[in-house]
Each structure stands twice: as structure tokens, then as C-alpha cells.
Chain A
Amino acid sequence: NAGVMQNPRHLVRRRGQEARLRCSPMKGHSHVYWYRQLPEEGLKFMVYLQKENIIDESGMPKERFSAEFPKEGPSILRIQQVVRGDSAAYFCASSPSTGFGTSGSWNEQYFGPGTRLTVT
């Protein structure tokens, strides 16, 4: 069972271009979370999606950022008209569910390796 996959691992974009980051959750996982880690800062929540639905996007910047998780295929985090301040590591995580069970393991989030976006 492959882990969470993200691609590309490294992405370089010029200011004004679009960046598309992909996340394939673990098999059997229907919940995807995106987090951003700015240089020298901690991780920050961006958005939580289930298949075809955005559940919580309270951490997403209001403009230029969007996310989707279609019925088929990976989750996509899209950044339009990138600026230097978008340079960061973007991590996605997946879980099978969000409910809480006695073992705790079935809603645990598993992280992908991240995509490092550099805007020049």
C-alpha cells in the first residue's frame, strides 16, 4: 500500500505563472488536507477536502488559491499568478475518516513528502 504521493517534489515558477500541486491519498483514504510551511515557519492548515467537496477552506488565502478533490484522480492545489511570498513547502495528508475511534488510528493523518515551490 503506497503512502501519500505528491508531485512534483520540486516546482519552480516565475512570478505570474500558475502552479499546480498534486496529491494522491493513500488507498482507501477519502479525506485530504493541505498544509503550507513557509520558510522558517511552522505548518499551517490550508484546506480540508473529501471527494468532490470542500469541507473547510478557512486556511486558504482568499485570492489566487483553489483546491479540488475530484471523484477520480488526485487532489489538486492550484495557485494562480504566483508571487515570491508563495514560495514554501506544501504538504498534503490523507486519512480514511475523521471520526474518532478507540484505537485512534483510523482517523490519523498520513503525510506526503511535500512539494517545494520556488517562485523566482
Chain B
Amino acid sequence: KNEVEQSPQNLTAQEGEFITINCSYSVGISALHWLQQHPGGGIVSLFMLSSGKKKHGRLIATINIQEKHSSLHITASHPRDSAVYICAAKETSGSRLTFGEGTQLTVNP
């Protein structure tokens, strides 16, 4: 069992739909990252959070420490949101990140 698990692995949506990607982790963490990897391969850090909720534009990230679960939401999705979304847990015991396998999101016009 992976220490960080994401669901779904693949997600196809129509433009404008509300999207949720889930991340569960089994290790103790000090923070959780949400990353975006575009088809060209570059990685962009979207959020880093340790509690509660963060919002940036159409993106919202939430985390429930007790349940060891985080979600990434995209409101009013757009084809340019098509990418792989990766959650990564920063363990309390060190500085390394442990990554989920990623969620491939495709938003169709």
C-alpha cells in the first residue's frame, strides 16, 4: 500500500464542471503539497497546507488532519486545466516529499 494515494487516477470532465481530486496519506505529515504537471513535464506548486483550506483563483485545497485526507477542487473547469495533479506529503520526520501517483485530468471543451 502506497503511503500517499490519490483518486481517481484518471478524470475526464466537460468544461465548466466542478472537479474534485482526493488524496489520502498514512504517514504523519507536517504539510501537504498539491502540484500540477503539464504535458510538457514542468511542475508547478499549487498549494502547500497543513490545516484548513486555501483558495487561489478557481482552485481550492482542503485538508483534514484527523482523517489524513486532502482534496483539490477546481471550480468552472477549463480545457487549460488539463494536466496531471499530484499530491505530496512532507513527513514530520524529515524534509522529503512522498508523492501520490497523480491524477490525469482532461477537460473537454
Establish whether residues A114 and B43, one from each chain, have CB atoms under 8 Å apart when the complex forms: yes
Q: How many A-B residue pairs have CB under 8 A?
A: 62
Whether A74 is near chain B, meaning CB under 8 Å from some CB there, is: no
Question: B88: which A residues are within 8 A, CB to CB?
Answer: 43
Q: Which of the segments B19-27, B75-83, B97-105 contacts the partner chain?
A: B97-105
Establish whether residues B33 and A44, one from each chain, have CB atoms under 8 Å apart when the complex forms: no
11 contacts across the A-B interface (CB closer than 8 A): A33-B95, A33-B97, A43-B86, A43-B88, A44-B99, A45-B98, A48-B94, A111-B42, A111-B43, A113-B41, A114-B42
Q: Which among A31, A55, A100, A109 is the interface contact of B97 at CB below 8 angstroms?
A: A109
Residue in B closest to A100 when the chains form the complex, CB atoms:
B30
Which B residues have a C-beta under 8 Å from some C-beta of A?
A: 30-31, 33, 35, 41-45, 48-50, 86, 88, 94-102
Complex CA–CA separation, A91 to B40 (angstroms): 13
Known: A104-B48, A105-B48. A42 touches B43 (CB 8 A): no
Question: A43: which B residues are within 8 A, CB to CB?
Answer: 86, 88, 97, 99
Complex CA–CA separation, A31 to B45 (angstroms): 16
- Interface residue tally for chain A (C-beta within 8 Å): 27
Question: B97: which A residues are within 8 A, CB to CB?
Answer: 33, 35, 43, 45, 109
Q: State which residues 37-62 of A face B: CB under 8 Å.
A: 41-45, 48, 55-56, 58-59
Contacts beyond the supplied A42-B101, A48-B95, A109-B45: 19 A-B pairs with Cβ under 8 Å: A33-B96, A35-B99, A41-B101, A42-B102, A43-B86, A43-B88, A43-B97, A44-B99, A45-B96, A45-B98, A48-B96, A100-B31, A105-B48, A107-B48, A108-B33, A108-B45, A110-B45, A111-B35, A111-B45
Whether A19 is near chain B, meaning CB under 8 Å from some CB there, is: no
Establish whether residues B94 and A56, one from each chain, have CB atoms under 8 Å apart when the complex forms: yes
Complex CA–CA separation, A108 to B33 (angstroms): 8
Output the least CB separation between B55 and chain A (Å).
14
